[in-house]
Chain A
Amino acid sequence: MRAEAPVREQPREHPMESLLRMDRIPHIWCPTCGIGTALTAFAAALEEREIAADSVSIVSGIGCTGRVAGYTKLDSYHTTHGRAVPFAVGLHLANPSLKVVVFSGDGDLVGIGGNHFIHAARRNVDLTVVCVNNFLYAMTGGQAAATSPLTANTSTSPYGNFERPFNLPLLAASSGAVYVARWTALHIRRLTKAFGEALEKRGFSLVEVIAPCSTLYARRNRLGTGLDLMKFYHDNSEIRHGADPNDLDIGFQEKIICGKFVDIERPTFLDAMNQRYREVFGDEYQEYGGSHG
């Protein structure tokens, strides 16, 4: 643990500091990693929408993105690999007054956590899921993930990945998510807006953030650094709101389609539960507001 480096030449503090655990900054992410940018957008969205930080709980899994919980100054839970979503489901259902955000990586959420991801979307549990997609398992050294593009070089696909990756917006939409958007870390303002919309949306919302991984994805595929990847996003991303999720596959160093693809209304898990029990039990049923003491 390093002592905080002496700060020179700045009479004021960074505006995000109230939402960061300053005793743990600087964080562990590599130079030109996009996770810090995603976190900045998230903090900005909380402020922009004036969402009370006390009511927000953030749950993350294992991985580089999973470390986000450790740096955010909210009620934060750093759980086991792939299990951030079910933990969040339990947390929210026991205490619906909490706004629960799952902030985790592509490997954690749709690799090992895939089953929980699709079922939580199916049930439409009121969660905001942020999936930072850097196309591999970064923390453990750059292994192939369910989102690695075809032909990408990773440490477990050293001759080029031959497995077709998931198309996350399609996965989420077909599972029943009510809000699905994808932005890159470069589309910082639209990303912030998407976070805000997802936070305020009732139901299972997914925001996929395409983020650069310098040390592993960029280096192994000889794409330069994270800055070069950001330049790639600049030149190769196309905004297509309302695009058909079937068209949103990402090829290796090919066009990335961004935008808001799904924004619908569906009863949440608790809505459906309350409605069913009211139908069956009539006035005898007391609408569920939280199990907590």
Chain B
Amino acid sequence: MNNSNRFILYDDKDEFEYNKNKADLDIKFNRVSFIFFVFFIISIIYSIHLIHLGSRKSDLSNSNQLKITNKLHRADIVDRNGSFLAKTVSSIDIGINPVDVIDQKKLLLNLGYIFRDKNYEPIKARLKKKKFFWFEKTITDNNYEKIMMLGDKSIQAEEKLLRIYPQKNLFSHIIGQIDNDNLGISGLEKSLDKQLKNNKISVQLTVDKNIQFLIREELLKYNKIFRAKGSATILMDVNNGEIISIVSLPDFDPNKREKIIDVNYINRATKGIYEFGSVFKTFTLAAAFNEKIIEPKTEFIDLPKSLTCDGSLIREYNNKISSNLTVEQILIQSGNIGSVRIGQKIGEEKYKLFLSKLGIIGGINFDIEEVGRPIKFNWGKCPLATASFGHGITTTLIQVVKAYSIIVNGGFDVNPTLVKKNKKTKKEKILNQDVTKKILPILRKIVSTKEGTAKLANVNGYEIGGKTGTANKVSGGVYSNKKINTFVSVFPTSKPKFILAVMLEEPEINEDYIYEYRDGSNFKLKGSPRNTAGWNSVEVAGHIIEKIGPILATKYNEVY
């Protein structure tokens, strides 16, 4: 039989053949993915819940019992010892929302128990108006606790932040004040506005509250004695420019938040622009020493008693001043003609450059914005002559202090500062070393010798040196009889550490004041012989140093 012709019929009904069914597979896969999807959704819900839990605030802060006005955050300002000069304190105000009042009688009874002296008739009237109103402002912590114990929904508390100045008038000119919108409007409150708003850490200043107090007390006392229109003092560390005290009188209480419009309240230490007179003679000598033109013992022979320049008369303030003077004697006796001669030797360009190096002409970068800019000086032959003894040229007291510091600290540039800096800046030497060496003994002799103009400041133990300056005040474009009397003192002259400048504006002679000489003679003199710096500013400086000296010697030194 031929197999090729045979047909075999298979009945595959009962046969099994494994065959992957695609449709079945899809159903299984969809089931797993569905379960995953459900878990995914659950996990998402949990994640959202977890994020919510993590980001939620505490129940305490959710309470609407006390709203805090964070808008008024402002960092404190402290002095070099950590005493508060400006502080932000909170005060709690209590308001009532009449809409939420459930039992008016009960509420008034409870409030009457806490605030017994309050008149409740107007409160009742306001409760009827159904509008929110302030019930009591700036309440004590004790009363706040009692009010919160009432648990009345209608009572709403709001914490407000207030800026207080615990030292009152003491630092008014440098701290300044803020307005109702927490915006600094003067002093450091203005210049450090951003820093105070953004930082939580207190801003530390270089000033010392106690020293400031003692200096201000003395200045107030002598302002009365010499009937001065105003006065200013600056005490500064000559080596780093840190201002330990800066006083300007009259001053004001920033807590009263008055708008100061009277020009007499100007900051005389930084903003007031004055001619300082003979104080400039130190700059003339220092410039000549720096240029190595003269030596302290260089002699000037046959100096005239007066000379004219462009029709203006320049003369000695005292005819007793000798015609033959050494450079040293010119400064000690405060000779005008001798200073003019030295100025002429230096020359206009070099003198101008020197004053510019010291920061006398032009502006000064200071921590507060209330800084004066000296009036532009038109240089020339005669202006050079007058500038060499401090006539016709203007500047501010802070600039004079800076310039003296550079001269006595070895010639290193310093910038007066009010804000304490932790970083030490590299000192830049801008004058020759021998300028300090040559000038200091002369400044000391101005205070320690009979010929000097500042004998009244020779307080024992402090080696005070300095220079006086008596200038006529310009009023209405002409020189008046009113005076600007200044004394810039440096101590100790063996190793200068502090500089104290005292300036009295429009002082007068006091015929009853008794001067006690400090030369050991116990000599007393009644009444001021002349209205010069030597008879008022020097006297004030002497008394200030006598008072603050022991503190400076102990607190500002390693004595243990």
Asked whether A and B interact, the reply is no
Chain A positions within 8 Å of B, measured between CB atoms, are none
